[in-house]
Structure 1
Amino acid sequence: METTGAWRSLAWLLGIWGLTRTVLLLFVFKVYVFPGPDVTSDVSVIYQGWYEVLRTGTFPLDDVTWQYPPAAALAILSPGLLFHLDYTSAFFVLAFTADLTALLLLLYAGLRPGKTLRGAWVWLVGVPLLGPTVYARYDVMVTAVAVAALLAGSRHPRAMGVLTAFGAMLKVWPVLLLVGARKRGVWGAAAVTAAVLSVVFAVAMPGAFAFLTFQRDRGTEVESLGSLVFHVARQFGWDGQVLLNYGSVEFLGPYVGAVSTAALGLTGIAFGWLLLWRLMATRFLAHTPADAAFVGVLMFTATSRVISPQYMVWLVGLAAVCLCFRGSRMKLPVVLVLAAAFVTVLEFPVWFAHVVASDALGVTLLFVRNGLLVLATVLAARELWRSTVTRTPVPALPAQATRTKETSLPS
């Protein structure tokens, strides 16, 4: 009966995945127009512009919107492999392929002993909640790498290290997957891979690490937690501006620097909490690395001075991995992240004009979305601490279960 139920669930899952992803493809290929600004312009204008520069053997050093580690060049150049398609179409196909890869990894893991298909369902539901933005950014590719790294961790620690380092060289945040890693093989493989990739890119392409200096003068992005200060302040005459700056729509003007500094301070506090947790944790279970990575990325997303919609793809991917494990306590935070994903598609792109205008609808959406993220962060951190640090005795097996186990042993 369990096998029949599992196959029926699998059939439903694959059917719904195919339907929802077809809808996403129809939107990005503009068979149907999604409400709000065109989310595909990043691919057709920005990414394709970078592609033309990168294919000459150098990074776009004159473009301050290039704010990514060197391996991001591989993601931007990858549509060129599908030479029979134009750049934009090829990118969408590759994003779709990354989505499918993440699903297959979650399905493979979910069908193994001690795992569950709940993680695959989280990915199935979470991605379309974010709308076509998922296929119009390369973050889904990075997330697929992160999902593979976490799922490989328990059985193949060196593979996890290699994949984590590669993911971090694509977009930095996957370095947080190491927060809950205990095996030396993970750290060693990650360090060696990062060093090798850094040397290769530094030698092969000029300006591989110029991105490190491109964010110094950023403002506070209009969707971030700190932006709520200025959304409210605009109602009382704050005379700053909302401008496209460093590739995103940001607040610029009085006190923006102070709020951005405060955001960096919160990120520092988050890092301190993670370090304290790592020093205090005494119990590491199979799901602990995934839970810790989820908490770490939640913390750094919620406190960042930029919360772009595609950041939610990272959280959905890590949430899915958490719920692959039967023992994970992250169910409520995962539900909150899925709710935040739905509100995210409403604030961008559907009603982004209201966000930029700081009107009642826009501010309400941001308070709800960012509130959900903060609440998910606090609850997830509390659950991680309780399950790994709080010194509660492990309950003994019931006497009946003990006798059953003893009688099942070979004589």
Structure 2
Amino acid sequence: MADTQRQFSLVAGEPSGDLLAGLLLGGLKARWPDMKSVGIGGPRMIARGFESWWPQEKLAVRGYIEVLRHYAEIAGIRRQLKARLLREWPELFIGVDAPDFNLELEAGLRSRGIKTVHFVCPSIWAWRPDRIETIRAAADHVLCIFPFEPALLATQGVSASYVGHPLANVIPMTPDRAAARARLDLPADAPVVALLPGSRRSEVRYLAARFFEAAALMQRQRPALRFIAPVIPGLRAEVQQALKASGMEGRVTLLDGQSHEALAACDVTLIASGTATLEAALFKRPMVIAYNMNRLSWRLMHRQQLQPWVGLPNILCRDFVVPELLQDAATPVALAEATLAWLADPARTQALQQRFTVLHAELLRDTPTLCADAIEKVLEG
């Protein structure tokens, strides 16, 4: 088999999945330099030689109501992808996060004899514990990014490995704030707030206006504040519209992507719940986590929540180490007050940074190699 070109298929449905899959492909390329990879992915995957058959943005939809609006198109893509994979028969299918799309696809492929791996354990410990049955049917093996997950899956008869969190390798243990500010042309000594209203269109629609209105309130109290906002290129028009409506146009610097630069440069971030909150924690930055969505989606999701926390930093620390302002609580006034509170309390910030340093060390592993090791064992199966 050593002389045979490996053929893998992957699906990563959003920017955070593209980052994870890009690192995974790095490990696979190191193990099998001439491997071929196809499916659905984003720019980081494509940079690794990945062939994307559909734009990744087609799958980047979140929330029950939002998914329903796009269901026909997404279901059609999944059917076409499954049919093509059954024709081309890759050696392995790897679903990267996006469980609503990938688990059903994995189950269908696995039932026909294609080996499957799911990268990132769905958060059955946070909500929707019934999903374990789906995972058991879908995945030959699960690559877990949090250390407690393999033991939990083992009790349910699911094979799994802890591979560390890829972001812990990407983000330096001690971020260089001064260098990041120089790259973004920000003053070295001004207080900087990073605004991250999300990477999905639905998130921007529900959060961007609130974030910019909160920024306006903050600037009235502290005129020296500087604001930066990383923007996914495809969402720039929506963000600019919200910025103009808030009266903050020209006072918030919009960045083309560059979320890591923004988090490295800032003193505090106002941030949408999701993977970006873990990135902020690894950058050791204080934050205020916010979320707002369609009311019916919120009711359905909130009803299935198993833990008191929503933000990943709080879930991993098992405590409300950073504020969470969700749904109706995410008012511009509340967001502004909670963000300014961090700037007024250096001792609180320092204690949080120490806690996040410990968390970073727990998540730091040679993820690309561990992923390749686990995948090789599945292939040898």
Whichever of the two has the greater Rg, that structure is 1
Structure (1 or 2) with the greater helix fraction: 1
User: Relative contact order, CA 8 A, sep 6+: which one is greater?
Assistant: 1
TM-score normalised over the length of structure 1: 0.30
Higher share of residues assigned strand:
2
